[in-house]
Every structure is written in C-alpha cells, then in structure tokens.
Structure 1
Amino acid sequence: MSVELPERDGDGYLIDMNQWAPEIGRAMAEADGVELDDVKWEQILKAREYFEEENVVPPIRKFAKYINADQKELFKMWKTGPMKPITKYGGLPKPTGCV
C-alpha cells in the first residue's frame, strides 16, 4: 500500500486526529504488521461512532457492551488490550485507564 502516513507520536497515534481516513487507518496497521480483518475493522468503526456520540474513548467494558461482544473474546482477537489498537487505527485519542 502506498499511502503516505501522517505524522504519528511515539506510540503510533496520529498527531492530528483530523488526518484520519479509512486508508490511513489500514496503512498504519499494515506498517505496524497488524492484520485488520472485517470484524476488527467493524470494531474500529464502532469505536469511532462511540467517540462521535460521547466525545470520549470508551473503556473496554463499555465498548464490549456497546458492540455486544464478550470482553475476553476482544482480548483474544487483538492479542493485547483491544482499545489501544482499536483507537490507534481508528485515529482516536489514546485510551486512558487500564488498556
């Protein structure tokens, strides 16, 4: 993929959230060696939807409930604290609290 990535911070998050686009999110994941299947991509879009509605990144517990998913399954799927990659590739702010 030959998408020019905008400037990112030391953790890989966009410096300017307004530079996010679906192609950017996918290119960031690819650059990080993370494969985004349709399920993961849907979760990223749902997190963006939640952020637009609430103006805050949801904690994993709230997010799992929001998308009607099992929290443990999200951890298995992402192999890490799920909110970090979900917010990173969704162009959202870093989650606070336990991730």
Structure 2
Amino acid sequence: MPTRVIAGKTVEVDAEGFMVNPNEWNEAIAIELAKEEGIEELTPEHWKVINFCRQSAGATGKAPTLRTITAGTGISTKELFALFPKGPAKKVARIAGLGKPEGCV
C-alpha cells in the first residue's frame, strides 16, 4: 500500500487516496483533508457528520451510505451537499479517515 504524509503523520492510503487504517486518523488529518476537498473550515455541523460516520463505521466496518448519514444525523441530503459539495458520502468518508463507501463511483 502507498503511504502519504497528512498533517505531519505518515498514513497508508489506497489508490484513490482513502486512508486504509481508520485508527491512524486524527482531527488534524481531517482538517487537512477537508482543505484538499475545498472545505476551508470544519463547522460543528461538519464534525457532527464526521463523528457519526466514524461511529457508524466502527460498528459496521464500512463507511455509511448517504441514506444512513441522513437518517443518523437528522441532516437532510440537501444540507449534506451544502456541507460536503459534489458527493457528500464519499467526501465525508475520506475526511473521516474511512474507506470509500460502497456504491460510490
């Protein structure tokens, strides 16, 4: 597996840049990955989604789908697209240090 340095920490990533080991993730990594995705500041709403996704993935072993995120956070699909433009499930999974969600192209 390739590695890269994110926020001063060397982590394993897959070919698409998703972290391989969620245990290597930290909030500084999330902030740097968010900036790479064009999100300059992570608001409390962003963190609510990120933390939900990490908890969900910890329980199921995989990144949650958009439907699971909306149901679990109470944040609408429209709001998720505003928080994480152009593919919120995929973007939040990357920022949260999770693998690519199933069903994402």
Q: Could you state the TM-score of these two structures normalised by the residue count of structure 1?
A: 0.79
**Cα distance between partner residues in 1 of 2:32 and 2:76:** 27
62, 67, 78: which is aligned to 2:73?
A: 67
**Cα distance between partner residues in 2 of 1:96 and 1:57:** 8
Higher relative CO (Cα under 8 Å, sequence separation at least 6) belongs to: 1
Task: Calculate the aligned-residue CA RMSD, in Å.
Answer: 2.2
Q: Which residue of 1 aligns with 2:26?
A: 21
- Counterpart mapping for 1:1-99 below 5 A: 3-5=7-9, 6-35=11-40, 36-98=42-104
How many residues matched?
98
Structure 1 residue runs of 4 or more that deviate by more than 3 Å after TM superposition? 7-10
- Considering fraction of residues, name the structure with more strand: 2
Shift of 1:92: 0.6
Q: Which residue of 1 aligns with 2:3?
A: none
**Structure 2 residue ranges without an equivalent (≥5):** 1-5
Taking only the aligned residue pairs, the percentage that are identical comes to 30
**Cα distance between partner residues in 1 of 2:78 and 2:60:** 24
**Cα distance between partner residues in 2 of 1:79 and 1:32:** 9
